[in-house]
A = this chain, B = another copy of it.
């Protein structure tokens, strides 16, 4: 069980932290929003009860609230103040095995480990609390909002844990999982090399069999390795901590391209029989990158030189195995996008209520201020409100999109466990969940990271010149979230993944079943619509799913004669899918809010804000689909005809 009570007590005690004299916003965990979204929109409690292997029944409403509020307090008081510090201070390369993280990161991580937070959703067998993944994801959401780069350390560990859990032999699991799940050891994924990122077919790191195939000798250079090293320390008392790398490499004679890549577990320190740390495993950091943002996270160039590694899963199946990790990370990117929108929105609301400039066009207004101030707070101005509402629609729409995926992830994990014990129906259910996840992942990753960038842009905009100044803590969000649309596959790669791999290669099946599901929700809603707005919105969503299928067919037909049609359409197509999917979620939220209003027991203002934000989304944001529907079908000649030399400076 979760070692919660003592930690919660500790986390909620008042903290004295050297404060800054600058007046600025303070992050607050939106627990009520999260519970509305998980419970009233997505029925998590009912969903938990349906889980067979994950201890859903432990995730009672009280427990969920306790977890979110405990994590909220920790993030508000500990992680959020470190966010700006981390940006200013960054990480320091001390030597190949020591990277210094920003002040306070280690201490905060210690508290996180002490509370047993890392093991929330992992099997008791390995020391976890066996709660549903979705709950761990809600916890991660709060951390990601308060301090994105700090949250990357536990986030990447989670990906490594999942990979080892799914593909590792039992003896590897027994050695590596308990300390990783406890949080004492962290993990990474090592994919990118200097010559290749998106195109992993070019991976050149070598793995040579040793020890009669039991172990491998790994040599090569990996770049852009987030959390590749740190100074968090570990339970064994080592100064700089154990890191478990999941490394893609080639064995001698392996087939060319992606079909010849295998996945290896390579620890920074070799592990002794008794579980204590042994010698360094020739794993070192050559340098860390100087980046636009995310300064709290060391982006390492890792050097492996005859480092000892263990095969994870099947030889030459590394790319497939790695997708476990990549999908976790892509969902993590989606969270990065929507949480950036949330944080930027919180900062912008604070400022828009505080800053006085000009009079409302419809006459003097001064909510929350002395009468007869020199001007009105800028929150009275329609353009400022539109920017705030856009952020709100992205943050809350994104949350709902992610929680739906979290449920799918629960079902996937739950049925995989049952499937592993021979339950054939569960195996099939796991496959279905996997397909659903595969279909939704590029949409969420692509759409929410791009929209997160937009939302952070608007947050800076609301502050005007003050948004450009570092100490006001808005421009950092823009810089930090920018990488979201790039790593784990750029938006371009997500577009190709969705349209090429997930839709056309699967003969439209995931698209058709998704659209049918959405339309069936829409028809029900139309029949029982509490308001004409809900009815209109449901009609819009239903029609958009039909347009989505129609556009898919159009592109498919174009692609028959013109192979470039898919690549040319893919990003616009992805964004069309994103807007449509987000509309489906705003519809669900609006229905839930109207239900709350009809019941008359909850917070009227809260529900009304949901209903109004939904109308804003449908009227002021969703019409972007009109442009996308047109541009995705543009002639490819316009794109492909230009000769390479014609791009040169004239």
Chain A residues proximal to chain B, CB less than 8 Å: 28, 30, 32-33, 36, 192, 195-199, 201-202, 223-224, 289-293, 346, 349, 352-353, 356-358, 361-362, 367-368, 374-375, 377, 379, 381-386, 388-389, 392, 453, 457, 460-461, 464-471, 475, 478-479, 482-483, 485-487, 490-492, 495-496, 563-564, 566-568, 570-571, 603, 605-606, 608-609, 612-613, 615-616, 619-621, 623-624, 626-627, 630-631, 634-650
Q: Which residues of chain B are near A293, meaning CB under 8 Å? A: 468
Q: Which residues of chain B are near A379, meaning CB under 8 Å? A: 644, 647
A383 touches B571 (CB 8 A): yes
B478 touches A461 (CB 8 A): no
Q: Which residues of chain B are near A650, meaning CB under 8 Å? A: 30, 32-33, 36, 603, 606, 609
B471 touches A486 (CB 8 A): no
B383 touches A495 (CB 8 A): yes
A605's closest neighbor in chain B, by CB? B646
From A384, A386, A491, name the one whose CB has the most chain B CB atoms within 10 angstroms: A386
B627 touches A612 (CB 8 A): no
- 20 A-B pairs in the complex with CB atoms less than 8 angstroms apart: A30-B649, A196-B357, A198-B358, A199-B356, A202-B356, A290-B469, A346-B649, A349-B648, A384-B492, A389-B642, A453-B457, A460-B482, A461-B491, A468-B482, A478-B482, A605-B645, A612-B646, A619-B634, A620-B639, A626-B630
Q: Which residues of chain B are near A564, meaning CB under 8 Å? A: 361-362, 382
The answer to whether residues A638 and B609 also contact, given A464-B198, A469-B289, A479-B292 and a CB cut-off of 8 A, is no
A634 touches B646 (CB 8 A): no
Q: Which residues of chain B are near A383, meaning CB under 8 Å? A: 492, 495-496, 567-568, 570-571
Compute how far the CA of A353 lies from the CA of B644 in the bound complex, rounded to whole angstroms: 8
B635 touches A619 (CB 8 A): yes
B290 touches A471 (CB 8 A): yes
Compute how far the CA of A223 lies from the CA of B465 in the bound complex, rounded to whole angstroms: 10
The answer to whether residues A464 and B479 also contact, given A563-B362, A564-B382, A627-B627 and a CB cut-off of 8 A, is no
The 3 closest A-B pairs by CB, nearest first: A382-B567, A292-B475, A199-B357
Query: Min CB distance, A492 to chain B, in Å?
Result: 4
B385 touches A642 (CB 8 A): yes
Query: Min CB distance, A25 to chain B, in Å?
Result: 10
The answer to whether residues A291 and B647 also contact, given A461-B486, A627-B626 and a CB cut-off of 8 A, is no
Q: Which of B290, B346, B486, B612 sits near A641, CB closer than 8 Å?
A: B612
Q: Which residues of chain B are near A357, meaning CB under 8 Å? A: 196-199, 202
Compute how far the CA of A398 lies from the CA of B38 in the bound complex, rounded to whole angstroms: 47
Q: Which of B223, B457, B627 sits near A624, CB closer than 8 Å?
A: B627
Q: Which of B468, B486, B640, B648 sits near A486, CB closer than 8 Å?
A: B468
Q: Which residues of chain B are near A382, meaning CB under 8 Å? A: 564, 567-568, 636, 639-640
A292 touches B623 (CB 8 A): no
Q: Which residues of chain B are near A349, meaning CB under 8 Å? A: 647-649
A620 touches B638 (CB 8 A): yes
Query: Min CB distance, A120 to chain B, in Å?
Result: 24
Q: Which of B464, B605, B640 sits near A197, CB closer than 8 Å?
A: B464
Q: Which residues of chain B are near A28, meaning CB under 8 Å? A: 649
Query: Min CB distance, A640 to chain B, in Å?
Result: 6
Q: Which of B198, B290, B571, B612 sits near A638, CB closer than 8 Å?
A: B612
The answer to whether residues A192 and B465 also contact, given A631-B620, A639-B385 and a CB cut-off of 8 A, is yes
Compute how far the CA of A462 lies from the CA of B483 in the bound complex, rounded to whole angstroms: 12
The answer to whether residues A375 and B639 also contact, given A196-B357, A471-B290, A646-B608 and a CB cut-off of 8 A, is no
B375 touches A470 (CB 8 A): no
Q: Which residues of chain B are near A490, meaning CB under 8 Å? A: 461, 464
Q: Which residues of chain B are near A620, meaning CB under 8 Å? A: 631, 634, 638-639
The answer to whether residues A638 and B616 also contact, given A465-B197, A478-B482, A647-B379 and a CB cut-off of 8 A, is yes
Query: Min CB distance, A375 to chain B, in Å?
Result: 6
Compute how far the CA of A615 lies from the CA of B640 in the bound complex, rounded to whole angstroms: 12
The answer to whether residues A199 and B375 also contact, given A30-B649, A615-B638, A644-B368 and a CB cut-off of 8 A, is yes
Query: Min CB distance, A406 to chain B, in Å?
Result: 20
Query: Min CB distance, A489 to chain B, in Å?
Result: 9
Compute how far the CA of A491 lies from the CA of B642 in the bound complex, rounded to whole angstroms: 33
The answer to whether residues A483 and B469 also contact, given A646-B605, A650-B33 and a CB cut-off of 8 A, is no
Query: Min CB distance, A54 to chain B, in Å?
Result: 28
The answer to whether residues A292 and B612 also contact, given A485-B461, A642-B385 and a CB cut-off of 8 A, is no
Query: Min CB distance, A384 to chain B, in Å?
Result: 7
Compute how far the CA of A460 lies from the CA of B619 in the bound complex, rounded to whole angstroms: 31
A378's closest neighbor in chain B, by CB? B198
The answer to whether residues A465 and B492 also contact, given A290-B471, A292-B478 and a CB cut-off of 8 A, is no
Query: Min CB distance, A116 to chain B, in Å?
Result: 27
Further pairs besides A30-B650, A383-B496: 18, Cβ < 8 Å: A28-B649, A33-B650, A198-B358, A198-B464, A202-B375, A290-B470, A290-B471, A352-B647, A353-B647, A368-B644, A385-B639, A388-B647, A392-B647, A460-B482, A465-B486, A468-B486, A478-B482, A620-B631
